[in-house]
Amino acid sequence: MVDTAIRTNPATDARGVPISYPEPGAIAGLERAHECTLAFRGDAIAVIDGVLAEHPDFIMGHLFRAAWLTQAMETRIYDTMVDSVRAAQNLIHTANERERGHLKAVQAWIAGDFFGAVQAWEAVLSAYPLDLLALQLVHLTDVLLGDVVGQRDCVARVFNLWDESLPGYEFVLGFYSFGLEENNDYARAEELGRRALALRPDNPYAVHAVGHVMEMQGRHAGGIRFMNDYMASWATSNFANHLWWHLSLFHLDLGDYPRVLDIYDNHLRSKDPNGEKYEELDAAALLWRLKLLEVDVGSRWRELSRKWEPSAQDTLYAFNDVHAMMAFVADGRDDAAWALLSANERYVESASDANVAMSREMGIPFCLALQDFAKGRYGECVDRLLPVRYRTYRLGGSFAQRDVIGWTLLEAALRAGRHDLALGLANERVELKPTSIQNWRAVARAWRGKGDQARAERAEARGRALLPV
């Protein structure tokens, strides 16, 4: 057992943040594990497990393990997370105030209070602004929960205290870059993202942030070049699946569907039926966009729906549920879709955790709209999505990910023959991204539906002019 006297003479991490356990080997091991999560390299849990095997009384090691598992948003890791929290609780008498704050956060998380966990981590960050783990957890959790302003401002509150002399500064730049991008500050977001990459080219999260800027600005050809320029580093990272998805979006807007399917088959098509849900999320998100474009994807939906089925009734995270629903309805799996909806309806009636509001306000309505769309009930799909279109942030994720909701609404309006509405929705999208070929094609379809062939042809010409030579 660690001598409690060390609390009066604590050790620190590489940034001077206090750690109650004074063994240099344990602290160095924690730094290695944390580096895995920041750089998306290696197995952070395996590394910290090795540290804890040698240092079972290292409370910050147990807290790190529990904290990183929160980001998986999967029920299969819940027992492991609870075990880590329990181990930390048994060592609470050795903890300093910073560690007590981290414990409070993970305790809130396992109780289903995700927002309470963020508040606890924010309190830690206020007291210890160089606590890179607390900063990372607040930022990433705000992304999961759809707190757009929070994911920027958690970095803004401490940013002036960081500089290149501090280990991990390149990752702080990456967090801030993404937060700025999600708040539409594209110029500064790209500047900080590229600064992060200048410091460390092997920084997948910074690639991700700059890629988001280019996606939101409709810089498709430039986005493809940028992603290809850094591919040698990000394609071998633990974030590769999601970055391949981003690359596929650039090709999708250009209408290069063979390349999109090639990316899906070789990089998004998970070979592991028990793999991480992040892989199936990106796969479903891409295939649904192809469905909206009426691209034949063969048997790919069937394979994907089978992977989603074991977690269809988890009701842990609404963002997961809607992507599972895409696979079920596209594959005609009425039984799985019914099971998912029934589980969610029972869940929102009886539970009180943070995901309830996400499921009630956006998860279930979008799931029902997806079902309507797949059944050809396009008018009903429109009627479900139109009232909630400005609350999509409640689903979590990024603007680029949530764009599938608006795109589904637009396509449903076109197919339902509601061309006045469709034209308005398509015009909105053109104003936000005037370089999008798909947006101009939607404008053309809406004008054609309204019987104005001349305007339809002009819109089509605008789209064709954007095609690469």
Q: Which domains does the chain have, with CATH numbers?
A: 1-140 (1.25.40), 168-263 (1.25.40.10), 417-465 (no CATH)
Residue 229's CB is within 10 A of a number of other CB atoms, namely: 12
- Identity of residue 300: R
Q: Give the H or E element holding residue 18.
A: strand 18-19
Percent of residues, the chain, with pLDDT higher than 70? 96
pLDDT at 6: 36
Q: Lowest-confidence range among 21-30, 37-46, 260-269, 307-316?
A: 307-316
Burial letters for 45-67: b for 16+ Cβ neighbours within 10 Å, e otherwise?
bebbeebbeebebbbbbbbbbbb
pLDDT at 468: 85
Mean of per-residue pLDDT scores for the chain: 94
CA–CA dist 234, 266 (Å, integer):
15
pLDDT at 4: 36
Is the predicted pLDDT of residue 273 greater than 80, yes or no? no
Is the predicted pLDDT of residue 3 greater than 50, yes or no? no
Q: Lowest-confidence range among 8-17, 82-91, 107-116, 187-196?
A: 8-17
pLDDT at 272: 66
Q: Measured in Å, how far apart are the chain's first and last C-alpha atoms? A: 69
- The whole-number average pLDDT for the span 17-39 is 97
Sorted by sequence, the CB contacts under 8 Å of residue 255 that are 6+ apart come out as 437, 438, 467
pLDDT at 277: 57
- The whole-number average pLDDT for the span 179-202 is 98
Is the predicted pLDDT of residue 278 greater than 80, yes or no? no
pLDDT at 350: 87
List Cα–Cα distances, 445 to 204, 417, 463, in angstroms: 38, 10, 12
pLDDT at 275: 53
pLDDT band at 7 (very low <50, low <70, confident <90, very high): very low
- Tokens at 91, concatenated: 């060592």
CA angle 209, 211, 460 (to 5 degrees): 140
pLDDT at 376: 98
Q: Per residue in 129-154, pLDDT tens?
A: 999 999 999 999 999 999 999 999 99
- Tokens at 71, concatenated: 């980001």
- Identity of residue 363: G
Q: Per residue in 371-401, pLDDT tens?
A: 999 999 999 999 999 999 999 999 999 999 9
Q: Per residue in 449-458, pLDDT tens?
A: 999 999 999 9
Q: Which of 104, 95, 38, 37 is nearest to 69 (CA)?
A: 37
CA–CA dist 20, 155 (Å, integer):
25
- Tokens at 320, concatenated: 């997961």
- The whole-number average pLDDT for the span 339-347 is 95
